[in-house]
Amino acid sequence: MKTVSTAKSHGGVQGVYTHASEACACDMTFAVFVPPQAKDAPCPVLWYLSGLTCTHQNVMDKGEYRKMAAELGLIIVCPDTSPRGEFVPDEKDNWQFGCGAGFYLDATQAPFSKNYRMYSYIVDELPKVIAANFPANMSRQGIFGHSMGAHGALTIALKNPERFKSCSAFAPITQPMTAGWSKPAFEKYLGDDEAAWRAYDATALIEDGYRFDEFLVDQGTADGFLEDGLRPGLLREACRAVGLPLTLNMREGYDHSYYFISTFMDGHLKWHAEHLR
């Protein structure tokens, strides 16, 4: 692991780091905020997964999480959204696929299967890097994210309930296997057998028997992607059908931007802190 930068903030340290990833077969960049409480004891870890076109930088610059994370004693880990590099296959004119659009899955189709293994990267590889290099209490982990990243958070939590104690989402893509801006990516990454897509779709996972203790979701009513891409009602229906607790807050007048995310960030951090005590 190499340190790109560090800066003191609210008594803690905001850092940016790189390492050679085996899962993604390239160098990966990630950000970590370590709160001041970590000087005395390991702290709980909260993973934030970003959305389409984003990197670790977006939430680090616009998410406004450090003050509350410092008060609550939470380590915040912000990975990148995809592999990157000269030899990583990409569609440069397609913001919904390739670099910046890894969808937190493990691709099975060439040429993407070599690099686009973001599920394994988030679940298996990067946690080992965090445990080895930061004062992290890895027995107390939560996960949340935005849009594509919220899709990733929901699916990862459903498949790893023994690891994650809490999961929340800002404007999640709730059924990516049928949404217009994600279905083409699923076909390119995973092939044309839609049965394989279900492993990376929150509503399908719930239908197939996967469970989590509770979800918190915030969604803006003025979100331009609400009806075609996000469709929170599908998640509500899936959770209701099996009795899975879901708090779905429809936030009047809010859009899909970081103005929306930063407005409700403190509430999500407090919610996670309660579950991670």
Catalytic positions, written as ranges: 147, 223, 256
How many angstroms separate the CA atoms of 188 and 112, rounded?
A: 8
How many angstroms separate the CA atoms of 49 and 23, rounded?
A: 17
Torsion angle, alpha carbons of 36, 128, 61, 273, to 10: -50
Q: How far, in Å, are 26, 106, 195 from residue 51 at the CA level?
A: 20, 17, 24
| Contact partners, residue 220, CB within 8 Å, separation at least 6 | 171, 226, 250, 251, 253, 254, 255, 256, 260
Q: What angle do CA 83, 84, 85 make, to 5 degrees?
A: 135
Q: Please state whether 103 falls in left (phi above 0), alpha (psi between -120 and 50) or beta.
A: left
